[in-house]
Structure 1
Amino acid sequence: MITTQQRLLETGLDIARRHGLRSLTVRGLALQAGVNPGSFVYHFGTRERFIEALIEHWYAPLLERLTLRARAGGSPQARLLSLLEQLLDNLLDHGSFIGQLFMDATAGEAGVLRFIATLGDRHIRLMLEAVADAQRAGQIQADEPIHVLMFIMAAAGLPALLHFGLAEPKCLPAEICDALDRLAADRDHVRRRLRWALAGVAYGAHPVCNDVP
């Protein structure tokens, strides 16, 4: 049986996916969840504490999956590929929520800004460590790990972020909108772009990118 706390969190996630956390009010959340505002105060206290709990409720399982990939065996390059695939899978599976989070941050939603500020010590650190391991093994180009990661994610992930609402479709040319709809968030195309990007950063490194099909 679902608890009141779980009902509030799941209802909050639904609101966030559709309208963003910036639109969430305690009264509106309680009404949609079918609970009285007093129950909300009992479980979470304030709107800010609820938003922090909601984001962690969503993020913790994603971080756990990434951590498992980061600790897996195989060559550093193969481990980096696996980690990037999981990160991009998370983006594709939760794109509407992630897109709204970016817009919440732009709107100055304090709880979202605090969450984003923690990411450098969380999954971003896992990604940078994986890049550095592959560099030490001579499997990708030697450069600042953050620069390499920026290149890979810009090639593989940025189109999907655009697709999920970081740009208004009507402000882009029609052919770009069509490409975003067809290609940007299609899993096969995302993985193809990822392999292109990894092949690019592996070019000229030693050994050559043998682990990336």
Structure 2
Amino acid sequence: MPRPSQAQDQALLAAGRELYAELGCAGLSVRRLAEAAGVNPAMVHYHFGSKDGFLRTLLQQMYEDMYAGLSHEVEGPGDPLDKLQAALRSLARFVRSHRPVIARIWADAQAGELVAQEFMRANAPRHLGLLMELTQAAEKAGQLRKVPPLQRFVFLMGSVVAPLVIAGGVQVLGVLPPVVAEGMQEQALSDAAIDQRIAWAIASLRKES
């Protein structure tokens, strides 16, 4: 019996990327997924074992895309502060591009979906730990003031990443006054806006000479 095409698993994952943010763990059925991918529903079980196996693979694949970007910045040239700023930029752009998926993972985890909860427990410490290490390295290099590490980390995330989640959410809901909505892209979501927030946040944490 010929083995099913290897392209089918990639077609399923591509379809899952399109559907997950809308449907979540509970709403994404095997039949709906297979229809979107143009394959037989049995191929979900053939390639991934189960619907939960598919979801684990899908979420992990998307996460690895983000983590690879962070790792690339950390391994590149520059001092600890340069690497921290580059990693913050990489993380922020990923969050901007994948806000609906990130919001859905949070919602699924809070709704008790085990796949989402297990995913967050397994992966959140990886990128959070990496960024914490970068801030500590910048402090040891004399580039940042010595402050409580968790407080500094929360400040950086609140300054750089949180606005993307909030702005993206209210933009989708359409609840902003027109004058605010018109400037949202340029002043909150653009590369320039992200870079400006990073610059302001780092400037406030720099060690005084």
Q: TM-score, normalised by structure 1?
A: 0.84
Residue 174 (structure 1) aligned with residue 177 (structure 2)? yes
Aligned to 1:158: 162
Shift of 1:108: 2.4
CA distance in 2, matches of 1:176, 1:132: 40
* Residue of structure 2 aligned with 1:74, choices 48, 58, 78: 78
* Residue of structure 1 aligned with 2:134, choices 117, 130, 140: 130
CA distance in 2, matches of 1:49, 1:131: 35
Aligned to 2:125: 121
Question: Which one scores higher on RCO, CA 8 angstroms, separation ≥ 6?
Answer: 1
What is the root-mean-square deviation in Å for CA atoms of aligned residues? 2.4
Shift of 1:77: 1.1
* Structure 1 residues 10 and 134: CA distance shift in structure 2, 3 A: same
- Paired letter, 1:197: A
* Residue of structure 2 aligned with 1:188, choices 178, 185, 192: 192
Bigger mean CA offset, 186-195 vs 159-168: 159-168
Aligned to 1:211: none
* Structure 1 residues 166 and 23: CA distance shift in structure 2, 3 A: farther
CA distance in 2, matches of 1:98, 1:177: 24
CA distance in 2, matches of 1:57, 1:131: 27
- Paired letter, 2:79: S
* Structure 1 residues 108 and 163: CA distance shift in structure 2, 3 A: farther
Structure 2 residues without counterparts, runs of 5 or longer: none
* Structure 1 residues 95 and 168: CA distance shift in structure 2, 3 A: closer
CA distance in 1, matches of 2:180, 2:123: 30
For the 8 Å contact 2:89–2:194, the answer to whether it is kept is no
Bigger mean CA offset, 44-53 vs 173-182: 173-182
CA distance in 2, matches of 1:145, 1:55: 29
Shift of 1:176: 9.3
CA distance in 1, matches of 2:107, 2:179: 21
Shift of 1:175: 7.1
Structure 1 residues without counterparts, runs of 5 or longer: 208-213
For the 8 Å contact 1:15–1:21, the answer to whether it is kept is no
CA distance in 1, matches of 2:147, 2:171: 30
Shift of 1:192: 0.7
- Paired letter, 1:65: G
Runs of 4+ in structure 1 off by over 4 angstroms are: 179-182
* Structure 1 residues 166 and 153: CA distance shift in structure 2, 3 A: farther
How many residues are paired up?
204
Q: TM-score, normalised by structure 2?
A: 0.86
CA distance in 1, matches of 2:171, 2:27: 19
Bigger mean CA offset, 180-189 vs 141-150: 180-189
Aligned to 2:13: 9
CA distance in 2, matches of 1:107, 1:167: 24
Q: Could you report, residue by residue, the CA deviation over 1:133-167 in whole angstroms, capped at 9, with x for unpaired residues?
A: 01111211212322212101111111111133389
CA distance in 2, matches of 1:81, 1:64: 16
How does 1:54-65 map onto structure 2 within 5 Å?
A: 54-65=58-69
Q: Could you report, residue by residue, the CA deviation over 1:112-135 in whole angstroms, capped at 9, with x for unpaired residues?
A: 111111234311111010000011
* Residue of structure 2 aligned with 1:30, choices 20, 34, 43: 34
Shift of 1:50: 0.9
Aligned to 1:49: 53
Bigger mean CA offset, 15-24 vs 111-120: 15-24
- Paired letter, 1:17: A
- Paired letter, 1:24: L
Shift of 1:2: 6.8
